[in-house]
Amino acid sequence: MCIGVPCKITAIDPNQPTKATAEVNGIQRDVNISLVSSGNEQSLVGQWVLVHVGFAMSLLDEEEAEQTLTALNAMQEEEPDVNILFKP
C-alpha cells in the first residue's frame, strides 16, 4: 500500500493553496500539495509529483529520470561483457 503514482500538476485551487489538480493518464484528481510546496504554489504547475493517498509526497526529478534512462540506453555500448552475452 505504499505505491505512489506520478502525476503532473495542472492547476492550483485559488481559494485553497494547498489543493491542486493533477493529471495522470488523462484523469484529473485533487491532490494536497502541502508536503511539496515551499510557498510559491503557482511554480508547481507543470511539475511532476509522486502522489500517495491523495497527497503529493515528492517532486519528481526529470533530469534524474532522464539520466537513469540514458545510462540504461548506453549500457550495451559501455559494457562489453553485455554485448558478448547478446551474441548467439
Partner 1 sequence: MQFIDEFRNPTQVKSLLSQIHAWVKKTSFTAEKPLQIMEVCGGHTHAIFKFGLERLLPPEIEFIHGPGCPVCVLPMGRIDACIEIAKRPEVIFCTFGDAIRVPGRQGSLLKARQEGAAVRLIYSPMDALTIAEQNPDKKIVLFGLGFETTMPSVAITLQQAKQRNITNFFVFCQHITIIPTLKSLLMTPDIQIDAFLGPGHLSMVIGTHPYSFICEQYHKPVVVSGFEPTDILQSIVMVLKQFANKQCLVENQYRRVVPDEGNPRALAVINDVFIMQGDDEWRGLGIIPDSGVRLNETYAAFDAEKHFQPKQQRVADDPQSRCGDVLTGRCKPLECHLFGKQCTPESAYGALMVSSEGACAAYYQYRQGEPA
Phi/psi-derived region of residue 83, left when phi > 0, alpha when psi is between -120 and 50, beta in every other case: alpha
Specify the residue, 35 or 45, whose C-beta has the smaller distance to partner 1.
35
- How many chain residues interact with partner 1 (CB under 8 A)? 34
Query: Residue 3 has which C-alpha cell?
Result: 505505491
Instruction: Note whether 69 binds partner 1 by CB under 8 A.
Output: yes
Site string for partner 1, 11-50 (x = CB under 8 A): ---------------------x-xxx-----------x-x
Contact 59, 51 (CB under 8 A): no
